[in-house]
């Protein structure tokens, strides 16, 4: 029996080494594959019997297919409890955010919704599915996926630190080495400590799009946390505390569309969308192109850098044409600058940056120097930043690694890069 777009099997399992490997399928447009077993699965958007609950070293994992709406519905059904728990744990923060967004900020909310429907309808439909599957009001999910934009609007109104930044904001740290067709791309995904037991892995296979595998926050569209798609495009992101916000396409909606990009150039087009609402930093690595590119954006400016050699980034704008953009200085001077300086010191002490290994690049991202604002984050007092995971992508390897929790704790789980499902004959 051959696998159609709506019927497939999870080939991965926990092996003797405790590693989990996600299923690997044939290339885009290639021949169908024959199942070794007689397993079949329900129609698109349904939960798969072999979803993995997770462990001390591996995140819960779900594989789902269908239209964007069906994919979102399947994710919402599986992880609705985690989404609700995240909202409950941050009820005071989110209550204020939602009250503003659906009250004084309602005209802006309506523009954000219209922009998402116009420019990123697939992401919008998927979010509708998340809401339906989790049985959470869509307005709640929409506000959650516009938290940076509304946080900046509140901050501008009240002349204070944005809602999602300041002393408690975690940030992320990225280190890349690219040379002669080799790319080693590492990323520490930092978030609020309340998410330590709420993160999960998704493999989504759209009926008419490009499959992707990603780490995901509860309730946030895929793409914000480390991800790779079936065209071999990797995306990691770093929050930028821009003070400027425009009415347009929210950053998470653009992240989600990047997961279906077929090349770095297409990913750059999404990340620099002319109607983008907020600032961001992306690193894109392409397995087939054997290259890595970084881009910083604000609502009104952008700058792209081809990565050649050693590259690193935290959570403030540092490119020549971007560093003068208005950012929240309190956040930059604490969390982001501290981690930047730790990695910079490590880089300056290298005997040579011409040939670096994975073990070399792990050193700064496992460092506790500068704590509690260290690259490897552990909560301390009022500082709630927590390194939720580390992602490791190596070109040309066909697998990638996700470490659950801080990288100082040890090895992670190995996953296969996704590949396109064969179309039915």
| Whole-number pLDDT of residue 278 | 98
pLDDT in tens, 63-103: 999 999 999 999 999 999 999 999 999 999 999 999 999 99
Task: Provide the pLDDT confidence category of residue 169 given band limits of 50, 70 and 90.
Answer: low
| Whole-number pLDDT of residue 186 | 98
Between 8 and 156, the more confident residue is 156
Task: Provide the pLDDT confidence category of residue 185 given band limits of 50, 70 and 90.
Answer: very high
The pLDDT mean for the chain works out to 86
For the stretch 296-311, what's the b/e string if a residue is b when 16 or more beta carbons lie within 10 angstroms of its beta carbon?
bbbbebbbbbebeebb
CB neighbours of residue 353 within 10 Å: 13
Q: Looking at domain 173-416, which of 3.60.60.10, 3.20.20.10, 3.10.180.10, 2.160.20.80 is its CATH number?
A: 3.60.60.10
| Whole-number pLDDT of residue 240 | 96
Three-class secondary structure of residue 280 per DSSP: strand
| Whole-number pLDDT of residue 64 | 94
Query: Is the predicted pLDDT of residue 398 greater than 50, yes or no?
Result: yes
pLDDT in tens, 321-366: 999 999 998 889 988 999 999 999 999 999 888 899 999 999 999 9
| Whole-number pLDDT of residue 420 | 61
Between 175 and 46, the more confident residue is 175
Q: Which residues contact 134 (CB under 8 A, 6 or more apart)?
A: 76, 77, 79, 80, 83, 84, 141, 219
| Whole-number pLDDT of residue 217 | 98
CA 318 – CA 27 distance, rounded (Å): 38
| Whole-number pLDDT of residue 191 | 93
Packing angle, helices 251-258 and 264-271, rounded to 10: 170
Between 25 and 128, the more confident residue is 128
| Whole-number pLDDT of residue 423 | 37
Query: Is the predicted pLDDT of residue 296 greater than 70, yes or no?
Result: yes
Query: Is the predicted pLDDT of residue 38 greater than 70, yes or no?
Result: no
| Whole-number pLDDT of residue 10 | 32
pTM value?
A: 0.87
Task: Provide the pLDDT confidence category of residue 24 given band limits of 50, 70 and 90.
Answer: very low
Q: For the chain, state the CA radius of gyration.
A: 20
Assign residue 139 a region (left: φ > 0; alpha: ψ between -120 and 50; beta: otherwise).
alpha
The DSSP code for 53 is: -
- Please measure the distance between the N-terminal and C-terminal CA atoms of the chain and give it in whole angstroms: 12
Overall average pLDDT of the 129-150 stretch: 98
Task: Provide the pLDDT confidence category of residue 36 given band limits of 50, 70 and 90.
Answer: very low
Query: Is the predicted pLDDT of residue 165 greater than 50, yes or no?
Result: no
Give, for 202, the enclosing helix (H) or strand (E).
strand 200-206
Q: Which two tokens stand for residue 45?
A: 């958007």
Task: Provide the pLDDT confidence category of residue 159 given band limits of 50, 70 and 90.
Answer: low
| Whole-number pLDDT of residue 188 | 98
| Whole-number pLDDT of residue 382 | 85
Q: Work out the percent of the chain whose per-residue pLDDT is above 70.
A: 84
Task: Provide the pLDDT confidence category of residue 374 given band limits of 50, 70 and 90.
Answer: very high
Q: Work out the percent of the chain whose per-residue pLDDT is above 90.
A: 74
Query: Is the predicted pLDDT of residue 419 greater than 80, yes or no?
Result: no
The DSSP code for 408 is: G
Q: Please state which of the ranges 5-19, 115-129, 244-258 shows the lowest mean pLDDT.
A: 5-19
Strands 61-66 and 200-206: parallel
Q: How do the domains of the chain map onto residue ranges?
A: 61-158, 173-416
Angle at 246 between CA 243 and CA 251, to 5 degrees: 85
- Helix, strand, coil percentages in the chain from 3-state DSSP, rounded to 5: 30, 25, 45
Long-range CB pairs of 44-49 (<8 Å, 24+ gap) are 44/6, 44/70, 44/71, 44/74, 44/207, 45/69, 45/70, 45/71, 45/73, 45/74, 45/129, 46/74, 47/74, 47/77, 47/78, 48/10
Asked whether the beta carbons of 167 and 192 are under 8 A apart, the reply is: no
Task: Provide the pLDDT confidence category of residue 193 given band limits of 50, 70 and 90.
Answer: very high
pLDDT in tens, 211-261: 999 999 999 999 999 999 999 999 999 999 999 999 999 999 999 999 999
């Amino acid at each position: 029996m051959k696998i159609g777009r709506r019927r497939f099997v999870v080939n991965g399992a926990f092996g003797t080494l405790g590693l989990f490997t996600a299923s690997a399928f044939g290339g885009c447009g290639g021949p169908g594959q024959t199942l070794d077993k007689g397993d079949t699965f329900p129609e698109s958007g349904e939960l798969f019997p072999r979803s993995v609950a997770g462990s001390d070293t591996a995140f819960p994992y779900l594989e789902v297919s269908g239209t964007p709406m069906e994919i979102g519905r399947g994710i919402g059904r599986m992880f609705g409890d985690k989404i609700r728990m995240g909202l409950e744990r941050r009820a005071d923060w989110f209550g204020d955010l939602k009250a503003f967004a659906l009250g004084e900020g309602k005209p802006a909310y309506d523009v954000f919704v219209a922009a998402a429907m116009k420019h990123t309808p697939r992401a919008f439909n998927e979010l509708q599915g998340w809401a339906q599957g989790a049985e959470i009001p869509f307005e709640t999910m929409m506000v959650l996926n516009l938290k940076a934009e509304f946080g900046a609007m509140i901050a501008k109104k009240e002349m204070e630190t944005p809602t999602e930044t300041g002393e408690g904001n975690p940030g992320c740290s990225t280190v890349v080495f690219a040379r002669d067709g080799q790319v080693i791309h590492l990323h520490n995904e930092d978030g609020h400590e309340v998410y330590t037991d709420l993160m999960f892995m998704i493999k989504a296979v759209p009926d008419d799009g490009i499959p992707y595998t990603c780490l995901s926050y509860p309730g946030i569209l895929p793409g914000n946390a480390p991800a790779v798609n079936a065209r071999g495009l990797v995306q990691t992101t770093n929050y930028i505390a821009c003070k400027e916000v425009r009415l347009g396409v929210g950053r998470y909606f653009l992240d989600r569309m990047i997961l279906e990009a077929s090349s770095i150039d297409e990913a750059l087009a999404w990340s620099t969308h002319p109607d983008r609402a907020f600032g961001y930093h992306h690193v894109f690595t392409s397995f087939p192109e054997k290259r890595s590119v970084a881009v910083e954006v604000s609502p009104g400016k952008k700058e792209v850098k081809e990565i050649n050699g050693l590259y690193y980034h935290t959570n403030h704008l540092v490119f020549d044409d971007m560093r003068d953009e208005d950012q929240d200085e309190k956040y930059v001077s604490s969390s982001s600058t501290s981690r930047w300086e730790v990695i910079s010191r490590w880089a300056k002490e290298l005997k040579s940056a011409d040939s670096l290994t994975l073990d070399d690049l792990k050193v700064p991202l496992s460092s506790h120097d500068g704590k509690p604002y260290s690259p490897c984050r552990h909560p301390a007092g009022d500082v709630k930043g927590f390194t939720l995971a580390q992602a490791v992508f190596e070109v040309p390897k066909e697998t990638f690694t996700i470490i659950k929790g801080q990288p100082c704790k040890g090895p992670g789980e190995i996953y296969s890069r996704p590949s396109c499902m064969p179309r039915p004959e």
